[in-house]
Amino acid sequence: MLEQNLWGAIATVPQFDGLFVFNPLRVVFLIAWFYLCLIITGSMEDSPIMPKRYKQWLNIISIVFAPFVFFGLYAIYIYYEAQRQQITTWEMLKKVASGSFFGFKRHIAGNSTGNSVELIDMSGKSFDEIYGGDKRKDDISGILSLAETIVWDCLNEQASDILIDPVSSEKYTVRFRIDGQLRVMQEVDKGTCVAVVNSLKALSGMDIAERRKAQDGAFSARHDSGVASFRVASAGVVNGEKLSIRVLSPNTDLYDLEKIGLSGKDLKKVTDTLSKQHGMILTCGPTGSGKTTSLYAMLSHINAYERNIISVEDPVEHPLENISQIEVNTKADVTFAKALRGILRQDPDVICVGEIRDEETAQIAMQASNTGHLVLSSLHSNSNFSAIVRLMDLGIKPIMLASALDIIMSQRLVRRLCDDCKTKASLSQEQTAKLESRGINTDKIMQPVGCVRCGDTGYRGRIAIYDVLKLDTELKQKLFTDGVTAGKVRQLGENIVKPRLRKQAMKHVLNGLTTFNEIKRVV
Ligand SMILES: [Zn+2]
């Protein structure tokens, strides 16, 4: 742990990021080291305590060996880090050579950000313009840099949210949600953090003087690979004011239907339905299971067919090309149901309803599907058949479901094991025997370790798992008989088509991509 702290400390000094990846600065560092040796030997020359005849030898020794001591210490560190990560020293060296190990993340220690990220408000004004150029140089420069560093780190870590909360009367924490899990990134003293909160509020177009009432706002950040948008919400709490910042999907590659993790068969079921003129696809899962990503991927896929696509969302998470996106705004009385009624007068071919939450929305969506529109939507439910139960509870008649619904897909996101530190799982003899008796090969099963790259969690990134259910005519006839109850549909359905989420997830465990614990947690 000590070594890690030491290296962590070095990593916070910007120019030492990735100490052993080639960089001209590091050559300068070694030359400086060499000169330091010369200076030391030079001063030894004049030292009265050193007998003259040894001086020459001592000079040679210190010049030759100082760099070796340096590399020796480094070798010892590599050896211990390899032990800690349970990999061979050779593998550790390869990691270092590829630069993957010393790709240090920057910490929010108030270091300067350089020009890696530029924060701008919704009208395109930069931080400097809002605060005035010269002010930046003096008193608030550190605050603005800290705000930039937080945003930069958030993008770098691919976090989905930034939470800034007062935890006591003197301290605030800055936390990131990474792969669905909250991680404390930094504790900041109240004075500094209140200033950071204020600067972000100003940037987001909020009233800085208002500290109690909840406010909403937004800002953007220009960075190396594009522009990311952020949605900000503030709220007054006991010890001050908290800020929740949601990153609105900076990465558009996400919305490629072929890359979201559907298997070949499932992908075909979905694309076949997307090419139809009418019908309905529902994505299901708890909050944070990637439903919006699936909807966006499907919308992006249809886009190529040049159809009139309109979507109602709460909120719009990412602007999509050639698609009219309407945002739900309850304050302005734009609800899902009201927006949907409006949309239907616009002669759409495809309608996306961000989420079905109430009876009215459910009814309109079903009717739209039945009147020649392709409808995509999401529902908060645990499985395919519980989605049907949910819709029936919302007052949708079985006959309506039978004619409107084509595909229900349940989904979850499981955390992916970090490739840099995962290691072969140590299973007990009993576990191994049990798995092998079921014909399962346990060779590839891995377990998490934790390293600098994954913030010591052992996981980095996520994998989506799906259970795609196509409701064909035969199945519909069996399920949606006259007067059937919701409970009965579920029972019948799960007898005919077994839920597959767990099975899909297990495949990833057996291939060493995730773990049993992760699946237990999520599915
Ligand atoms: Zn790792």
Q: Taking a C-beta distance cutoff of 8 angstroms, is the pair 125, 220 a contact?
A: no
Cα(150) to ligand 1 centroid in Å equals: 22
Q: Closest Cα to residue 265, out of 493, 504, 474, 444?
A: 504
Give 49's contacts (C-beta < 8 A, 6+ positions apart): none
> Is it the case that residue 463 has pLDDT exceeding 90?
yes
> Is it the case that residue 473 has pLDDT exceeding 70?
yes
DSSP string, 281-294: EEEE-STTSSHHHH
Res. 37 pLDDT band, cuts 50 70 90: confident
Cα(9) to ligand 1 centroid in Å equals: 19
Domain boundary among 64, 98, 132: 98
Least confident of 119-133, 255-269, 306-320, 352-366: 119-133
Residue 470, strand partner residues: 407
Residue type, 500: R
Cα(88) to ligand 1 centroid in Å equals: 15
State the pLDDT at residue 141.
74
Cα(512) to ligand 1 centroid in Å equals: 14
- DSSP code, position 397: -
3 state DSSP class of 318: coil
Q: In this predicted model, which residue has the larger pLDDT, 59 or 323?
A: 323
Claim to verify: residue 137 and residue 222 sit in the same structural domain:
yes
Q: Closest Cα to residue 320, out of 352, 344, 349, 342?
A: 352
Burial class (CB in 10 A: 0-12, 13-18, 19+), 30: exposed
State the pLDDT at residue 483.
87
Judge whether 111 lies within some domain. Answer: no
State the pLDDT at residue 18.
42
> Is it the case that residue 429 has pLDDT exceeding 50?
yes
305-336 pLDDT, tens digit each: 679 999 999 888 887 888 899 999 888 899 99
Judge whether 175 lies within some domain. Answer: yes
Q: Taking a C-beta distance cutoff of 8 angstroms, is the pair 110, 218 a contact?
A: no
User: Helices 190-203 and 141-156, interaxial angle, to 10°?
Assistant: 80
Q: Taking a C-beta distance cutoff of 8 angstroms, is the pair 501, 464 a contact?
A: no
Interatomic CA distance for residues 379 and 410, integer angstroms: 9
Cα(72) to ligand 1 centroid in Å equals: 25
Cα(455) to ligand 1 centroid in Å equals: 7
State the pLDDT at residue 156.
85
Cα(52) to ligand 1 centroid in Å equals: 53
Sign, CA torsion 269/275/280/282: positive
Claim to verify: residue 222 and residue 244 sit in the same structural domain:
yes
Cα(418) to ligand 1 centroid in Å equals: 4
Judge whether 320 lies within some domain. Answer: yes
Cα(459) to ligand 1 centroid in Å equals: 6
State the pLDDT at residue 253.
65
State the pLDDT at residue 4.
40
Cα(293) to ligand 1 centroid in Å equals: 25
Judge whether 110 lies within some domain. Answer: no
Claim to verify: residue 410 and residue 507 sit in the same structural domain:
yes
Claim to verify: residue 46 and residue 135 sit in the same structural domain:
no
Cα(95) to ligand 1 centroid in Å equals: 12
Burial class (CB in 10 A: 0-12, 13-18, 19+), 24: exposed
Cα(183) to ligand 1 centroid in Å equals: 15
Cα(117) to ligand 1 centroid in Å equals: 26
CATH code at position 457? 3.40.50.300
Claim to verify: residue 324 and residue 415 sit in the same structural domain:
yes
State the pLDDT at residue 3.
40
Cα(448) to ligand 1 centroid in Å equals: 8
Interatomic CA distance for residues 1 and 442, integer angstroms: 31
Cα(85) to ligand 1 centroid in Å equals: 9
Supply the mean pLDDT for the chain.
84
Q: Taking a C-beta distance cutoff of 8 angstroms, is the pair 414, 462 a contact?
A: yes
Claim to verify: residue 93 and residue 177 sit in the same structural domain:
no
Give 495's contacts (C-beta < 8 A, 6+ positions apart): none
Domain boundary among 43, 71, 98: 98
Cα(447) to ligand 1 centroid in Å equals: 11
Claim to verify: residue 236 and residue 282 sit in the same structural domain:
no
Sign, CA torsion 253/254/255/256: positive
Phi first, then psi, for residue 414 (nearest 5°) are: -110, 145
Claim to verify: residue 265 and residue 393 sit in the same structural domain:
yes
Domain boundary among 230, 248, 266: 248
Percentage of the chain lying above the pLDDT 90 cut: 53
Cα(13) to ligand 1 centroid in Å equals: 22
Cα(245) to ligand 1 centroid in Å equals: 26
State the pLDDT at residue 99.
45
User: Helices 359-370 and 336-344, interaxial angle, to 10°?
Assistant: 20
CA 240 to chain centre: 27
Judge whether 208 lies within some domain. Answer: yes
Q: Which residue has the tokens 């698609």?
A: 323
Claim to verify: residue 218 and residue 293 sit in the same structural domain:
no
Res. 102 pLDDT band, cuts 50 70 90: very low
Claim to verify: residue 416 and residue 298 sit in the same structural domain:
yes
372-416 pLDDT, tens digit each: 999 999 999 999 999 999 999 999 999 999 999 999 999 999 999
Domain that holds residue 160: 117-248
> Is it the case that residue 27 has pLDDT exceeding 80?
no
Planar angle of CA 234, 238, 241, nearest 5 degrees: 25
List, in sequence order, every beta strand (DSSP E) within 294-364. 309-313, 324-327, 350-353
Claim to verify: residue 286 and residue 365 sit in the same structural domain:
yes
Q: Taking a C-beta distance cutoff of 8 angstroms, is the pair 160, 146 a contact?
A: no
Listed in sequence order, the DSSP H helices in 371-428 are: 384-393, 398-404
Res. 23 pLDDT band, cuts 50 70 90: low
Interatomic CA distance for residues 492 and 155, integer angstroms: 46
Judge whether 17 lies within some domain. Answer: yes
Claim to verify: residue 223 and residue 126 sit in the same structural domain:
yes
Res. 65 pLDDT band, cuts 50 70 90: confident
3 state DSSP class of 494: helix
pTM of the complete model? 0.71
Cα(513) to ligand 1 centroid in Å equals: 13
State the pLDDT at residue 390.
96
> Is it the case that residue 215 has pLDDT exceeding 50?
yes
Structure token digits, residue 360: 């009215």
The 3 state secondary structure assigned to 421-485 is: CCEECCCCHHHHHHHHHCCCCCCCCEECCCCHHHCCCCEEEEEEEEEEEECCHHHHHHHCCCCCC
State the pLDDT at residue 19.
44
Cα(454) to ligand 1 centroid in Å equals: 4
Structural domain count, the chain: 3
Cα(3) to ligand 1 centroid in Å equals: 16
Least confident of 106-110, 155-159, 413-417: 106-110
pLDDT (mean) for 222-248: 90
173-206 pLDDT, tens digit each: 999 999 888 999 888 999 889 999 999 999 999 9
Cα(424) to ligand 1 centroid in Å equals: 14
Cα(431) to ligand 1 centroid in Å equals: 25
Cα(478) to ligand 1 centroid in Å equals: 49
- DSSP code, position 253: G
Res. 250 pLDDT band, cuts 50 70 90: low
Interatomic CA distance for residues 416 and 462, integer angstroms: 5
Res. 7 pLDDT band, cuts 50 70 90: very low
